[in-house]
Amino acid sequence: MMSREEAARRAAELRAEIERHNYLYYVLDRPEITDAEYDRLMRELMAIEEAYPDLQTPDSPTLRVGGAPLAVFETVTHRVPLLSLANAYTPEELRAFDARVKRFLGTGDVSYVAELKIDGLTVALTYEAGRLVLGATRGDGEQGEDVTANVRTIRSIPLRLSRALSLIVRGEVYMKRPDFLRLNEARRAAGEPEFANPRNAAAGSLRQLDPKITASRPLDAFFYDVLTVEGADVATQWEALSFLRELGFKVNPAARLCRDIEEVIAFCDEWATRRHEVAYEIDGIVVKVNSLAQLTALGATAKAPRGKIAYKYPATEEVTRALELAVNVGRTGVLTPLAILEPVEVAGSTVSRATLHNEDYIQEKDIRIGDTVVVRKAGDVIPEVVRVLPERRTGTERIFTMPTRCPECGADVVRLEGEAAARCVGAACPAQLREGIIHFASRNAMNIEGRGPQIVSQLIEAGLVHDAADLYRLREQDLVKLERFGPKSAENLVRAIAATRGNELARLIFALGIRHVGENVARVLAERFRSMDALAAADEEELLAIPAIGPKIAASIVSYFREEQNRRLLEKLRAAGVKMEEGEAAPA
Ligand code: IVH
């Protein structure tokens, strides 16, 4: 074993080395080592910190996996209030802003910085002598929440700056669109409520009392303002951006220094069309007087600085009519109400249905059949009805009530105390069955290639498939009788299904669709139990001993395996040759 001094020296070396690789990977997108090499460094540091716990510093990258859960977030009072921005919607309003600024300053010599307005949530980070000591949400601008432990888990946020400065910076935590879609897909698969848009996903992920959850979410952050700094000279916003970059922060590369407001307007126009090219949501352009001396001279109104303004892009909202309200039954039996719309073009695509989330949402917004409604497409995702326009009512609108019986199977619909979701309790509900099989076959589950939801529905309707195990019994001669199937496509499907018999256990566990068991949990379970039988035999106590498993998940797993119907399905899968153990060769 290393001496304490050796360990301390090596730990410091590793911290610097790991953080350098974090920076290369997460900020510059230019990794220099492989994931395996990175993991090796991380493991070495973790081993040292385990042997000498007091050597773990607050800027150790091992904290990026998330520390101990909190009971509540502490309130922090911002040293510099986090103001908001006034909005402009037209070039005319930007010209008026420019005129106001010049009149106020008594000079025509004003340049601007135009930056993308990232649609995430504001954080203020405090560094002392180059070390991150506090991360806070904006809150009401005066007081926010201390989310330091969570901020530390965001890999692109420097725990230590390249210079030992004390400063406060402001930035935006956000989630990239593809990461958001993947997160929602996993939540859907685990029967958990989805986030409405990337911003809500980012906010929900940052405001978790358990930093380990935050660590598991793909968050990122751009920084754009220096609120205070000691011992460095920054004279303009343009310099502030390079200063932030130099310190190790991720700074959005699209900012532009503009000589006058017409250049700002050109930048706004350019990004109005280019905004869909970037992987994150932007909802406008922030225009800032470049000279910090001028900015200070301009001061602020009650809420917003006079030298900055947000140019907001037209919302991706449109007005249309809700022709009908319908419900969709999901894999876990949850009934989701949706509006069938008069088709309308929103943000570049035609929308003809929009989610209404749940019964409370409909009541709260008083959405009725026949209403004129505002629909929004948030982040290229599921469109939603945002509100109704009651002034357009004609008196023929009808109140919508959730069905008390499942529209697919006629079983009772129940709504548990304290839950927003209404569920169909039918054990043999065809909608649940269909969605369950679609999930079983989906990419992140068993990954049966060439199976679309339509094919699964077709197989069920044809009476060829009653459960997931039946997929493995499909024969080419049965398939060729179906519409859209030829000898070739029948052969391909049978082969694609057969190829999944030897999948890793984690995929199979996830594919079963046990509530609250997402991909990550499935992987943990496969690693721990190594066979389906061992997992099925586990009791709650055994499951709770696993760090990633909480009471909700444990209870759900136990009740899944207690259900006779589910045990029968597993036996059928086993009989069909599906691998039930980890690390065993696939049966021929
Ligand atoms: S500057 C005094 N720059 O937009 C306000 N804000 O509507 C200084 N935002 O709360 C903010 N990107 O969360 C600034 N490049 C950017 C921004 C940005 C996104 C957010 C910020 C602010 C909101 C104002």
- Please report where in the chains the tokens 């303009």 appear, as a residue: 236
pLDDT of residue 238 exceeding 80: yes
At residue 176, the pLDDT reads 95
**Mean pLDDT in residue range 473-489:** 91
At residue 287, the pLDDT reads 98
Residue nearest to atom 17 of ligand 1 (CA): 117
Q: What is the best residue among 199, 241, 286, 306 to mutate for testing ligand 1's pocket, by most ligand atoms within 8 Å of CB?
A: 286
pLDDT of residue 379 exceeding 70: no
> Residue-wise over 85-98: b if at least 16 C-beta within 10 A, else e?
beebeebeebeebb
For β-strands 166-174 and 75-77, DSSP reports them as unpaired
Closest CA to 451 of 384, 406, 500, 386: 500
**Mean pLDDT in residue range 5-34:** 93
> What separation in Å is there between the alpha carbon of 164 and the centre of ligand 1?
26
At residue 348, the pLDDT reads 61
Reported as half-sphere exposure (CB side, CA atoms, 13 A), residue 439 has a value of 28
The tens digit of pLDDT for each residue in 298-337 reads 999 888 999 999 998 876 788 899 999 999 998 888 999 9
Rounded mean pLDDT of the chain? 91
Listing DSSP states for 485-500 in one string gives: --HHHHHHHHHHHHTT
Burial of 554 (0-12, 13-18, 19+ CB in 10 A): buried
Closest CA to 196 of 366, 343, 423, 383: 383
Percent of the chain with pLDDT over 70: 98
The CB density around residue 28, as the number of other CB atoms within 10 Å, is 11
**Mean pLDDT in residue range 558-575:** 92
Strand partners, 328: 336
* Sheet strands (E) in 429-573: none
* Sheet strands (E) in 89-230: 112-118, 121-128, 131-137, 143-145, 166-174, 220-230
pLDDT of residue 249 exceeding 90: yes
214 close to 205: Cβ distance less than 8 angstroms: yes
Compute, in degrees rounded to 10, the torsion defined by CA atoms 383, 387, 391, 396.
Answer: 70
Give ligand 1 pocket residues (Cβ under 6 A): 83-85, 115, 117-118, 122, 172, 224-225, 286, 305, 308, 310
Residue nearest to atom 18 of ligand 1 (CA): 117
SS3 for 50-66 is HHCHHHCCCCCHHHHHC
For β-strands 143-145 and 75-77, DSSP reports them as antiparallel
Distance in angstroms between the alpha carbons of the first and the last residue of the chain? 48
Lowest mean pLDDT among 235-249, 320-334, 343-357: 343-357
More confident residue, 571 or 382: 571
558 close to 230: Cβ distance less than 8 angstroms: no
Predicted confidence band of residue 149 (pLDDT cuts 50, 70, 90): very high
For β-strands 112-118 and 256-258, DSSP reports them as antiparallel
Give the DSSP letter of residue 25: I
The tens digit of pLDDT for each residue in 256-289 reads 999 999 999 999 999 998 988 899 999 899 999 9
Predicted confidence band of residue 383 (pLDDT cuts 50, 70, 90): confident
**Mean pLDDT in residue range 574-582:** 95
Catalytic residues: 117
At residue 340, the pLDDT reads 95
**Mean pLDDT in residue range 555-576:** 92
Q: Which residues contact 287 (CB under 8 A, 6 or more apart)?
A: 88, 94, 97, 112, 113, 114, 264, 308, 309, 310, 311
pLDDT of residue 21 exceeding 60: yes
Predicted confidence band of residue 588 (pLDDT cuts 50, 70, 90): very low
The CB density around residue 400, as the number of other CB atoms within 10 Å, is 22
At residue 197, the pLDDT reads 79
For β-strands 308-312 and 86-88, DSSP reports them as parallel
> Could you tell me how far CA 104 lies from the centroid of its own chain?
43
pLDDT of residue 195 exceeding 50: yes
> What separation in Å is there between the alpha carbon of 227 and the centre of ligand 1?
13
Predicted confidence band of residue 341 (pLDDT cuts 50, 70, 90): very high
Residue nearest to atom 9 of ligand 1 (CA): 117
Q: What is the best residue among 84, 85, 264, 281 to mutate for testing ligand 1's pocket, by most ligand atoms within 8 Å of CB?
A: 85
| Size of the chain, expressed as the number of residues it contains | 588
More confident residue, 103 or 187: 103
Global pTM? 0.64
> What separation in Å is there between the alpha carbon of 117 and the centre of ligand 1?
6
339 close to 324: Cβ distance less than 8 angstroms: yes
> What separation in Å is there between the alpha carbon of 29 and the centre of ligand 1?
24
At residue 315, the pLDDT reads 65
At residue 586, the pLDDT reads 43
**Mean pLDDT in residue range 503-528:** 92
The CB density around residue 493, as the number of other CB atoms within 10 Å, is 21
Collapse the DSSP code of 435 into the 3-class scheme (helix H, G, I; strand E, B; otherwise coil) and give the result.
helix
pLDDT of residue 584 exceeding 60: no
Predicted confidence band of residue 381 (pLDDT cuts 50, 70, 90): low
459 close to 469: Cβ distance less than 8 angstroms: no
Task: Using the atom order of ligand 1, give the atom closest to the CA of residue 122.
Answer: 13
